[in-house]
Amino acid sequence: MIDFENPGVFAILLLVPLVYILRRTRVFGHISLPMTLSDWNGPSFDWKRPSRNFMSVLVHILLCAGFISLTAALANPVIHHQEKIYTSRGSEVLFVIDISPSMAARDIGGQTRLEASKNVIHTMLEDNTGLSVGIVEMAKEATVLVPPTMDRKVFFEKLDSLVPGLLGDGTAIGTGLSSAILHLDYSTAPKKAIVLITDGENNAGSIHPNTAARLAKEKDISLYVLGVGTKGTVPLEYTDPYTGRVTSGYFPSDYDTTSLSRIALEGNGTFYEIPTINLLSQVLKAISKQENVVQSYLVRDNNTSYAQYCLVFTMLCAIIAWLIRRFILQEVL
């Protein structure tokens, strides 16, 4: 919401039509001394009137715009917005995201599986600012990319940096879940949850995913398993992040949802088969609502002034008008 702290200053703008009227009625005018320069018995200098008139009008427009901008700066335009400051802890959710090369398959609403997951996570967190979220990236190996945080800027920067194939070719679901459990185990959050987003079966790592799922259950950590992608022959365009080699074509997508549902069952969690982006959005919104807790917070008012931008615009208008009058109209100022 834009507001002005000194709105009375805008009364100065009444000077603009007043000066115009006085100039038109010749009550107020400027003194000019026309000078014609020419060679002896030669042709005299002549202005090209259409271009001169255009430049003269442009100068007046710039001066008026600068005057209006200066008046706005004196009125001090500000934008008011409110910020929630949470005084109690909310839930913590760790996203275990598969970044194996197969996540580059483009079969989720015209997007790759990884792109669709990232975009929907963005949407999910827009309405839940009290949730602490983190990322565990997983492929042949797994690592905690972002511990649970409420800093959305940091979280989204890391989320957007996820690239298929960065941790090799493979799917170490057990290792990814174990990494997430390790970080959530010592948390004092009222609710803790893991959202596993993958498109394949466990085929790497030394920890069996069912073992990790049972550990999550013991630690009272909610587990959601999302199997993204469609079955059959799907398009894929994958760029190796290390060699730059591009692989494109089609590959058979026939991952076994039975193993993923078994992981959810072992962890007393929920399994979702996600073939469309709409279903992915619905599921993540439902998870956000399910894991939400009531938090106490304070509301802080933040005001941002834009007077300095108006002053900069005023200076630009004045400088451009001066340059036109001095070097194009060649007026002596």
- Per-residue pLDDT tens for 187-201? 999 999 999 999 988
The answer to whether residue 282 scores a pLDDT higher than 90 is: yes
Residue type, 137: E
pLDDT at 45 over 60: no
The pLDDT of 202-228, averaged and rounded, is 94
DSSP 216-254: HHHTT-EEEEEEES-SEEEEEEEE-TTT--EEEEEEEE-
Structure confidence at residue 293 (pLDDT): 83
- For the range 11-17, what are the long-range contacts, defined as Cβ-Cβ under 8 Å and sequence gap of 24 or more? 12/71, 12/74, 13/67, 13/68, 13/71, 16/64, 16/67, 16/68
d(CA 226, CA 96): 10
Question: Beta-strand (E) ranges in the chain?
Answer: 2-4, 77-86, 92-98, 132-138, 142-149, 192-198, 222-228, 232-239, 246-253, 270-274, 297-305
**Residue 204 · residue 178 · CB < 8 Å:** no
Top pLDDT among 83 and 153 is at: 153
- The predicted pLDDT at position 255 comes to 77
The reported pLDDT for the residue numbered 315 is 96
Q: pTM of the predicted model, to two decimals? A: 0.71
Residue 304, helix vs strand vs coil: strand
Q: How far is CA 133 from CA 41, 173, 302, 325, in A?
A: 86, 19, 25, 59
What's the pLDDT at 41?
Answer: 63
Tokens 């933040």 sit on residue: 302
For helices 173-185 and 209-218, the axis angle rounded to 10 degrees is 20
Cα three-residue angle 156-159-162, rounded to 5 degrees: 150
Q: Are strands 77-86 and 92-98 parallel, antiparallel or unpaired?
A: unpaired
What value does the mean pLDDT take over residues 48-70?
A: 86
Structure tokens at 155: 């979280």
Average pLDDT over residues 111-117: 95
Could you count the other beta carbons within 10 Å of the beta carbon of residue 50? Answer: 8
Q: What are the phi and psi torsion angles at 2 (to 5°)?
A: -90, 135
Q: Which residue has the tokens 């085929």?
A: 203
- The mean pLDDT of 269-293, rounded to a whole number, is 93
Of 71, 120, 92, nearest to 187 by C-alpha is 92
- Long-range contact list for 324-333, CB < 8 A, 24+ apart? 324/55, 324/58, 324/59, 324/62, 325/59, 328/55, 329/52, 329/55, 329/56, 329/59
Provide the 8-state DSSP code for 171: -
- Please give the structure tokens belonging to residue 129: 């600012």
Using a 10 angstrom Cβ sphere, with 0-12 exposed, 13-18 middle and 19 or more buried, the burial of residue 166 is middle
Greater model confidence, 39 or 305 = 305
Tokens of 249: 């074509």
Task: Provide the pLDDT for residue 278.
Answer: 94
**pLDDT level of residue 298 (50, 70, 90 thresholds):** confident
Q: How far apart are CA 125 and CA 133, in angstroms?
A: 9
CB 173 within 8 A of CB 100: no
Residue 40 has what pLDDT? 61
CA distance readout (Å), 149 to 93, 100, 154, 237, 272: 9, 25, 8, 33, 26
Q: Judge whether residue 46 has pLDDT over 60.
A: no
